[in-house]
Amino acid sequence: MSEVRLTAGEKARSAALVARMCKRGVAGDQVHIADLTRRVDRIHEEAARRTEREQAAMKVELETARQAVALAKTAVRTADRTTKPAAKAALRAAEDALRRTERAARRIGL
């Protein structure tokens, strides 16, 4: 799995909790911060679960786009003269959709 990306809200909550931990740390070494540490850990665990769900969904979408391109190529190969221009247009559209999906997959670390 690639690195876990936090949303803006998760970053803000984590930063606020870390700031509270620092504030408690200034009070002394004997101050209890385990509750805040657990909350930060919980935020990171939820982000990891979300990332896994997003990557699984993106894998399905990527495979669907690849299958659509394969079907469009088959349609071009089997098309007669009257339907070949439409089949080629459909192939270009499927390839464009695949490129967009691959770009999005790279952005999330696949």
Tell whether 102 is covered by a domain. yes
Model pTM? Answer: 0.72
Question: What share of the chain in percent tops pLDDT 90?
Answer: 83
Place of tokens 């894998």: 59
Tell whether 13 is covered by a domain. yes
Confidence at residue 92, expressed as pLDDT on a 0 to 100 scale: 97
Tens digits of per-residue pLDDT, 87-110? Answer: 999 999 999 999 999 999 999 888
Give the residue numbers spanning the domain of 93.
8-107
Tell whether 36 is covered by a domain. yes
Tell whether 3 is covered by a domain. no
Please tell me which residue, 40 or 30, carries the higher pLDDT value: 40
Confidence at residue 13, expressed as pLDDT on a 0 to 100 scale: 96
Tell whether 2 is covered by a domain. no
Tell whether 58 is covered by a domain. yes
Which of 66, 59, 15, 7 has its CA nearest to residue 39?
Answer: 15
Tell whether 24 is covered by a domain. yes
Which of 32, 33, 35, 45 has its CA nearest to residue 6?
Answer: 45
Comparing 3-7, 13-17, 33-37, 77-81, the range with the smallest average pLDDT is: 3-7
Tens digits of per-residue pLDDT, 56-82? Answer: 999 999 999 999 999 999 999 999 999
Strand locations in the chain (E)? none
10 Å CB burial of residue 94 (0-12, 13-18, 19+) is buried
Rounded distance between C-alpha atoms, residue 68 and residue 91, angstroms: 8
Q: How many CB atoms lie within 10 A of CB 92?
A: 12
**What's the token pair of residue 52?**
């896994």
Tell whether 74 is covered by a domain. yes
What type of residue is 6? L
Number of domains comprising the chain: 1
